[in-house]
Copies of this chain bind each other. A is one copy, B any other.
Amino acid sequence: MAQDKRQVDAITARDVDFAQWYTDVCKKAELIDYTSVKGMFIYRPYGYALWENIQAELDRRFKATGHENVYLPVLIPESLLQKEKDHVEGFAPECAWVTVGGSEKLEDRCAIRPTSETLFCEHYANIIHSWRDLPKLYNQWCSVLRWEKTSRPFLRHREFLWQEGHTMHATAEEAREETMQMLNIYADFMENVLAMPVIKGRKTDKEKFNGAEETYTVECMMHDHKALQAGTSHYFGDGFAKAFDITFTGKDNQPHYPHQTSWGVSTRMIGGIIMTHGDDNGLVLPPRIAPTQAVVIPVAAHKPGVLEAAASLRDRLNAAGVRSKMDDSDNSPGWKFAEYEMKGVPVRVEIGPKDMEKEQCVIARRDTGEKITVALAELESAVKALLDHIHDNLYAMALKNREDNTFDIQTPEEAKAIVEGKGGFLRSKWCGSLECELAMKERAGVSSRCMPLVQSGTEGTCPVCGRKCTTDIYWGVAY
Contacts and interface: CB of A to CB of B under 8 A. Distances in A.
Interface in A136-183: 138, 142-143, 145, 147, 149, 158-159, 161
A42 B69 contact: no
A242 B130 CA distance: 60
Contacts of A69: 45, 48-49, 52
B95 A102 contact: yes
Nearest to A158: B101
Interface hub of A48, A100, A101, A109 (most chain B Cβ within 10 A): A101
Contact of A48 (B44, B45, B71, B94): B71
Interface stretch (A118-126, A246-254, A350-358): A118-126
A80 interface: yes
Contacts of A80: 36
A68 B45 contact: yes
Interface residues of A, number: 54
A100 to B, nearest CB: 4
A308 to B, nearest CB: 21
B75 A40 contact: yes
Interface string A82-126: 000000000001111111111110000110100000010011001
B102 A100 contact: no
A73 interface: yes
A49 B59 CA distance: 13
Nearest to A76: B37
Interface in A34-56: 35-37, 40-45, 48-49, 51-52
B42 A73 contact: yes
A127 interface: yes
Contacts of A126: 33
Interface hub of A40, A43, A72 (most chain B Cβ within 10 A): A72
Interface string A434-469: 000000000000000000000000000000000000
A386 interface: no
Interface in A241-276: none
Interface of A: 33, 35-37, 40-45, 48-49, 51-52, 68-77, 80, 93-104, 109-110, 112, 119, 122-123, 126-127, 138, 142-143, 145, 147, 149, 158-159, 161
User: 7 tightest A-B contacts by CB?
Assistant: A45-B68, A102-B147, A40-B73, A43-B71, A97-B100, A101-B147, A96-B101
